[in-house]
Structure 1
């Protein structure tokens, strides 16, 4: 096969940026390079390519896997209040990760890098470092060749590995590993994914925040529960030179401009609108917020978050059973999870003027000017639907209490 016949060279917007192709290439002739929005795409050195087809074989966009089964579906939240505070939802990822670390294993997840201007997958091997890969980060993370190799080598050396990421990242890893990915030592967790925003927009946002405060962002919690789980906040920690105590700035998610752009689907990668891996990545466990839980189980304290847990394999069920004694949990249905998380099974629709918005981002338009032009206010129909949904939830709660 010649370079011209390599399918990944013609993916275009279908590429999901998982980097599995670059990691798998035996000649290291594929590099992942940023486009004008900061999304990574494979670029092939035609002179070094030997046409082995390895890159095409691992690409999630070139062939979907079989549909993931939901062998067991539960709602769950950790019993530890400290863990709940440190988590985005019910703390289940943290418990799974602690279990793997306690057994001498390795956890691979997304962490802030370069002063919180980027997100990248890293390997952590101790409980102290585990906080780096906790909590949601609404920016597409980079999964380097060394991370893929690190996961593979850890499994081959007999160590347990927990890999957490989006469905496309899990699919890329599983294809990269081949038979090694079938090992009982590997536990894969995908998150219910709304989509991944443009990395360049995020780095511009952090630069703007730094300039506005005259100090540097040192940590970001995009899902702070300071105002509760349902009204989560984006919290930014700043540190000033010669002042060791960071200061915090917290904004309710629907008032944080970056979050509004994300939730409006204005900054998402093109492949997110036709996700090639949704419910077909081969993960052992799928985790997400159990949105709408308060209307189903008003008798349960949900103030600090509740997770939806889908065990897709027997391995996933065993992993959850190990930590279940550390949780409050109960049965749930797929319909209940989907009601609050339609993106579990369906790709989101793009913002109507997404192309125009991203053109402004790529052109170098400043954040203040972007904010002035693009406010991402919900449409009248969206506001009406939101109010009707709230009324329905309150009525259901009243009916349940009166039963």
Structure 2
């Protein structure tokens, strides 16, 4: 290659490779690139970032136009805001909040549709988005997973193929993931066959920290962890527990864990020490283009003390008419009431505002990247003091004090 040709290629280098810590790791750029010159690779903390092969780049700009960080959309007002919970006690027990994802996903599957969401992989060491086409597959996508999930380029293409075949797709993820998928799909995202829901997101914690944590748990049990329930309601909805399931040599299931405030990994997550840098300036909050926004309706008991919320209530924001129609479609299976954006955001500030990093986040993440063990990390950073201060503030918001 001549020096002039090399210079020409450099001039066409995409802006996306200079994002640095602003990258949200959705992987849409890699999926969109027609020449395969971008691949998502983990950084020293396990967060996926685009790796660039300049020899393959043709300077088309497809990656830049797909990136949620480089193509931020305006904030939108919801068409309708409601509270809701499943009428099924079984669905409520299995869900993280009011069971809306399960009811919506069930309706999509029964319409010969496909549901796309996050699933544990490799004995819970990683989390990856995948497609579910039947109710059995759907079980893997249910319940919250407080780890940033990978969306492979192959899944982007799979979703597009389903839509081109006019098959319904219900896609769920964080706001940046929904934005990345919509940007990748283009006009297909506005078709009647594509429904998207983002979750009210606190932030995306380090996949490397999670992998170390689950290995630590497995070592303590002398057995691989089969499943994790981040939001078990065995101790209630607002005081949920984190449970780890391991198989013994006798093939019995051993369950360990306890209330979320006693789980070190959850304290690190909720104290914003393990979050991705882009989470402190989220590029997609209230602007990802989702049809629905779903989340826990924290603070609900003080607003509606007459409603039994002991097993969880969901906040539902219908952002589009399409989303409203789908919500109305499942309404016979729900207990529903009207609400407002202000009521929801009162207990969910992360709905609209990015969180602030823990004061020692940089030191914590550097130690993680340099190979510090869970014992070393937890001995240096217990997060106990700051966690309980945050918990008291949250309880005051929930009780309306």
Q: TM-score range by the shorter chain?
A: over 0.9
Q: CA deviation at 1:66?
A: 2.4
Distance 1:182 1:208, change over 3 A: same
Residue of structure 2 aligned with 1:109, choices 110, 117, 130: 117
- Summarize the alignment of residues 78-93 of structure 1 with structure 2, pairs less than 5 Å apart: 78-93=86-101
| Structure-1 separation of matches of 2:82 and 2:392 | 28
Alpha-carbon contact 1:69-1:313 (below 8 Å) kept: no
| Structure-2 separation of matches of 1:54 and 1:312 | 27
Q: CA deviation at 1:226?
A: 0.6
CA RMSD of aligned residues (A): 1.6
Q: Which moved more, 1:232-241 or 1:305-314?
A: 232-241
The CA deviation string for residues 272-318 of structure 1, in whole angstroms up to 9 with x for no partner, is 00000110000000000000001111111111110000000000000
Residue of structure 2 aligned with 1:188, choices 179, 182, 196: 196
Alpha-carbon contact 1:15-1:41 (below 8 Å) kept: yes
| Structure-2 separation of matches of 1:203 and 1:176 | 29
Q: CA deviation at 1:371?
A: 1.1
Q: Does 1:365 align with 2:372?
A: yes
Distance 1:379 1:311, change over 3 A: same
- Summarize the alignment of residues 351-390 of structure 1 with structure 2, pairs less than 5 Å apart: 351-379=358-386, 383=389, 387=392, 390=395
| Structure-1 separation of matches of 2:395 and 2:39 | 48
Q: CA deviation at 1:394?
A: 5.4
Distance 1:9 1:160, change over 3 A: same
Q: Does 1:222 align with 2:230?
A: yes
The CA deviation string for residues 359-390 of structure 1, in whole angstroms up to 9 with x for no partner, is 1111111111211111102349x73x755775
| Structure-2 separation of matches of 1:290 and 1:394 | 12
Alpha-carbon contact 2:199-2:293 (below 8 Å) kept: yes
Matched position secondary structure for 1:61: coil
| Structure-2 separation of matches of 1:127 and 1:389 | 36
Gaps (5+ residues) in structure 2? 1-7
Alpha-carbon contact 2:298-2:398 (below 8 Å) kept: no
Alpha-carbon contact 2:197-2:290 (below 8 Å) kept: yes
| Structure-1 separation of matches of 2:394 and 2:269 | 21
- Summarize the alignment of residues 320-339 of structure 1 with structure 2, pairs less than 5 Å apart: 320-339=327-346
| Structure-2 separation of matches of 1:181 and 1:388 | 39
- Summarize the alignment of residues 173-252 of structure 1 with structure 2, pairs less than 5 Å apart: 173-241=181-249, 243-252=250-259
Distance 1:32 1:390, change over 3 A: closer
Q: Which residue of 1 aligns with 2:161?
A: 153
| Structure-2 separation of matches of 1:358 and 1:389 | 26
| Structure-1 separation of matches of 2:230 and 2:125 | 13
Q: TM-score, normalization: structure 1?
A: 0.95
Residue of structure 2 aligned with 1:20, choices 20, 28, 31: 28
Alpha-carbon contact 2:292-2:323 (below 8 Å) kept: yes
- Summarize the alignment of residues 91-170 of structure 1 with structure 2, pairs less than 5 Å apart: 91-170=99-178
| Structure-1 separation of matches of 2:392 and 2:59 | 56
Q: Which residue of 2 aligns with 1:32?
A: 40
Distance 1:329 1:295, change over 3 A: same
| Structure-1 separation of matches of 2:393 and 2:245 | 36
Q: Does 1:43 align with 2:58?
A: no
| Structure-1 separation of matches of 2:243 and 2:299 | 24
Distance 1:121 1:390, change over 3 A: closer
Alpha-carbon contact 1:108-1:123 (below 8 Å) kept: yes
Alpha-carbon contact 1:3-1:49 (below 8 Å) kept: no
Q: Which residue of 2 aligns with 1:399?
A: none
Matched position secondary structure for 1:203: helix
Alpha-carbon contact 1:108-1:162 (below 8 Å) kept: yes
| Structure-2 separation of matches of 1:395 and 1:149 | 46
| Structure-1 separation of matches of 2:139 and 2:73 | 32
Dislocated runs of 4+, deviation >6 Å = none
Alpha-carbon contact 2:347-2:397 (below 8 Å) kept: no
Q: CA deviation at 1:3?
A: 4.4
| Structure-2 separation of matches of 1:36 and 1:209 | 22
| Structure-2 separation of matches of 1:145 and 1:170 | 14
The CA deviation string for residues 7-31 of structure 1, in whole angstroms up to 9 with x for no partner, is 0110000000000000001111111
